[in-house]
Amino acid sequence: MRNALIPIAAALAILILGVFIVNTQIWYTTRADSFSGARYAIKNINAIFAEARHATRLAVPLVDIECGMEGEYRLGTEAALQPHIRTIFILKDKTVTCSNLPGNRMLLRDVTTLPDRQLLLVPASSTVNGLPVLIFQTRQAESRIVVTISDSHLRDALDIPLKDVVYSLKVGNAILGMTGDVLPAGNRQTHILHVRADDYPYSIEFNAPPLFSLHRLLARSAWVLLFLVLIAGMAGYILYKYLNKSTSPDEALRRAIARNEIVPFYQPVMNGQEGTLRGVEVLARWKHPRAGYISPGSFIPVAEKSGLIVPLTRSLMEQTVTHMNAISSKLPEGFHIGINFSASHISSQNFVEECLTFKNSFNRSDLNLVLEVTEREPLDIDEHLVQTLNHLHENGFAIALDDFGTGYSGLSYLHDLHIDYIKIDQSFVGRVNGHKDSTRILDSVLDLARSLNISIVAEGVETQEQLDYLNRNDITFLQGYYFFRPVPFTELIKILLSKPKVKVRVE
Ligand code: C2E
Ligand code: CA
Ligand code: CA
């Protein structure tokens, strides 16, 4: 479950973002629908008021005359013909002068305190039949023409078939909802929206749709949600696959070479007798962006197996040329530059040309370029390899047999190869300590090396005892932590500028 958290988080983020967008869209349309519903209710109520106005106009001629049977009849007919009108009466000096109900009666319990406003919602307690009513009044000279409209017609007008939205009519400070009596407008829930009517003093109120509702989301966009879940799941899966795509060691190394992350470190090679710096061995380091410097032991085998050793060594050679040319004036006469080569690289087609180009790229022609060939791996000494190395030897390269004494190859090839240096493996030098017996193996390795009459380089010199021993045995070239560890180029410059002369003590 490597890197599973990030894909899960990403999938969740996509899902949440998707739900947020879909929900916002639904909320927005629901809100817009609610407003449309309110405007529709206004249209319905205005149509009822149009009837009231019509009835009012009819009553106008009756204001200034005696009402009588004729007046009652005319108002009664109008109330009967207009579907939403309950009563029509004329009020003068707090007295009903004419009404559609016989005997100038009306539905209201008390008209003396009736406020003089165009619209009024009257609660059930103030009507004779115990039902709330809306009053539509028009002043005409000293009189008022009053038309009453029953609550049920108003409720029909408010009954817009929109789910989860409830409309109410607000007149002044009174509210008529879908059920119950007229209520005062105060103390109502907060999330209330309203639309004001343009032509009359009333408004339609309704509940604002909630910002988020799972029920609404599922009801209106279940398919979209399902699609979102699929998309989020797929994105998470693809991301998971991508993050867990295992980069093979080969691939990682290939990229490291391309990015110039394989850099040369330089380990000084000293003259044991004089204690002076005679040259360097180039040792590969992986300058990893996260892990820091990685030792070659972990990536050289990968490079050899994958064939990447060729571009890797080429890159080191190029960097070495650049570095050495930059400090060419500071390099001692005949300075050694040792490079490690794998047998597979030496056997490759362009090896000789590569080496010659390498040699010609240096500013200085007196440098002693040493090709180090390890004996640690079984060396497949065939004619081609012998020819290649001998050809390079003739062209001014020195050949060093690395890790001498550890080899599997036997020594038969030494007759055919022109070898300039034998590098005694550090495991033999490392055994040397104060004890007399500790030098036994090294003694015999040195005897063997001496018998071949080839210059010897001792590796892995760490202690004074080891140095003393090697000096007593006239080993000229020494390499090891006793002198210097492998260092980056900037450190090498400092070493060169300090012109080291290590004190050598021979007992
Ligand atoms: P090597 O060619 O025998 O290099 C000497 C190794 O001994 C280096 O290890 C060096 O850091 C280490 N060493 C030097 N002085 C001392 C000392 O006093 N004590 C101890 N304990 N060790 C010391 P490093 O750099 O880790 O390299 C290991 C091996 O990796 C090298 O052994 C060489 O076989 C291989 N290698 C390094 N660079 C390259 C390269 O560019 N190409 C190839 N083909 N192989 C390389
Ligand atoms: Ca070496
Ligand atoms: Ca070695």
pLDDT tens, position by position, 337-373: 999 999 889 989 999 999 999 999 999 999 999 999 9
Looking at every residue in the chain, the average pLDDT score rounds to: 91
CA of 283 to the centre of ligand 1 (A): 6
Give the number of the ligand closest to the Cα of residue 403. Answer: 3
Residue whose C-alpha is closest to residue 300's, from 243, 372, 391? 372
Contacts of 266 (CB under 8 A, 6+ apart): 280, 281, 282, 283, 486, 487, 488, 489, 492
| CB 486 near ligand 1, within 6 Å | yes
Share of the chain above pLDDT 70, in %: 94
Average pLDDT, integer, range 433-455: 86
Q: What is the DSSP string of 325-392?
A: HHTGGGSPTT-EEEEEE-HHHHHSTTHHHHHHHHHHTSS-S--EEEEEEESSSPP---HHHHHHHHHH
Helix 249-258 and helix 296-306, axial crossing angle in degrees, nearest 10? 100
pLDDT tens, position by position, 33-82: 999 999 999 999 999 999 999 999 999 999 888 888 888 899 999 888 89
Instruction: Round to whole Å and give the CA distance between 157 and 167.
Output: 10
Average pLDDT, integer, range 309-328: 97
The reported pLDDT for the residue numbered 384 is 86
- Asked whether residue 493 carries a pLDDT value surpassing 60, the answer given is yes
Residue located nearest, by CA, to atom 43 of ligand 1: 340
- Asked whether residue 507 carries a pLDDT value surpassing 50, the answer given is no
Instruction: Round to whole Å and give the CA distance between 409 and 497.
Output: 41
β-strands 119-122, 143-150 pairing: unpaired
Top pLDDT among 438 and 339 is at 339
Helix 5-59 and helix 68-81, axial crossing angle in degrees, nearest 10? 160
Q: What is the DSSP string of 203-269?
A: EEEEEPPPS--HHHHHHHHHHHHHHHHHHHHHHHHHHHHHHT-PPPHHHHHHHHHHTT-EEEEEEEE
Residues in the 5 Å CB sphere of ion ligand 2? 340, 372, 402
Q: What is the DSSP string of 132-144?
A: -EEEEEEEETTEE
Residue whose C-alpha is closest to residue 404's, from 414, 389, 393, 395? 414
Place of tokens 């939403």: 84
Residue located nearest, by CA, to atom 25 of ligand 1: 283
- Asked whether residue 410 carries a pLDDT value surpassing 90, the answer given is no
Report residue 73 as tokens: 């009849």
Residue whose C-alpha is closest to residue 71's, from 96, 95, 107? 96
The reported pLDDT for the residue numbered 166 is 94
The reported pLDDT for the residue numbered 506 is 46
β-strands 203-207, 133-140 pairing: unpaired
- Asked whether residue 99 carries a pLDDT value surpassing 80, the answer given is yes
Instruction: Round to whole Å and give the CA distance between 226 and 219.
Output: 12
| CB 283 near ligand 1, within 6 Å | yes
Residue whose C-alpha is closest to residue 84's, from 19, 29, 152, 27? 152
Average pLDDT, integer, range 85-113: 86
Share of the chain above pLDDT 90, in %: 69
Report residue 129 as tokens: 């039949």
Q: How many CA atoms lie within 13 A of 229 on its CB side?
A: 6
Average pLDDT, integer, range 467-492: 94
| CB 72 near ligand 1, within 6 Å | no
- Asked whether residue 327 carries a pLDDT value surpassing 70, the answer given is yes
The end-to-end CA distance of the chain, in Å, is: 63
Q: How many CB atoms lie within 10 A of CB 6?
A: 13
The reported pLDDT for the residue numbered 408 is 56
Give the residue, out of 319, 426, 479, with the most ligand 1 atoms within 8 A of its beta carbon, to mutate for a pocket test.
426
Contact 373, 346 (CB under 8 A): yes
CA of 348 to the centre of ligand 2 (A): 20
Instruction: Round to whole Å and give the CA distance between 100 and 85.
Output: 11
Instruction: Round to whole Å and give the CA distance between 477 and 425.
Output: 13
- Asked whether residue 97 carries a pLDDT value surpassing 60, the answer given is yes
Average pLDDT, integer, range 457-463: 95
Output phi, psi for 245, to 5 deg: -60, 110
pTM over 0.95: no
The reported pLDDT for the residue numbered 449 is 81
